[in-house]
Each structure stands twice: as structure tokens, then as C-alpha cells.
Amino acid sequence: MGVSKDSHLVEYDAEHYLVKEEITHYGAKKVILKNKKTGKIFEQVES
């Protein structure tokens, strides 16, 4: 299919796209982010 494009992703901040946002079973918000420059994906829990 070729190279995927990031145009469908929502901007989270200047350096990251928001891939997914969810609420954990204990009520904290977890976001999955993708670095715009490196393409690295990581999780971040917000309290």
C-alpha cells in the first residue's frame, strides 16, 4: 500500500500527534502519542 500519511492524525502539541485517547479502569486519562519528527509512538498517563 505504500507509505502511510499522518494527515488523518489530530495534533496534540507542536511535537506530537494524538493517536488515541482513553480512560483507564482507575479513572486516569491515557493518551497514545506519535512524535512528528521520529514517528515514535509512546503512551502518557495524565492524572
| Beta-bridge partners for 13 | none
Is 1's pLDDT higher than 70? Answer: no
Q: First and final CA of the chain: distance in angstroms? A: 38
What pLDDT does residue 46 have?
A: 85
What pLDDT does residue 34 have?
A: 97
pTM tops 0.85, yes or no:
no
Is 31 in contact with 43 (CB distance < 8 Å)? yes
Question: For residue 1, with 0-12 CB atoms within 10 Å meaning exposed, 13-18 middle and 19 or more buried, which class applies?
Answer: exposed
Per-residue model confidence as pLDDT tens digits over 2-30: 555 667 889 999 999 999 999 999 999 99
What pLDDT does residue 3 have?
A: 54
Collapsed DSSP state (helix, strand, coil) of residue 32: strand
The bridge status of strand 16-23 relative to strand 10-11 is antiparallel
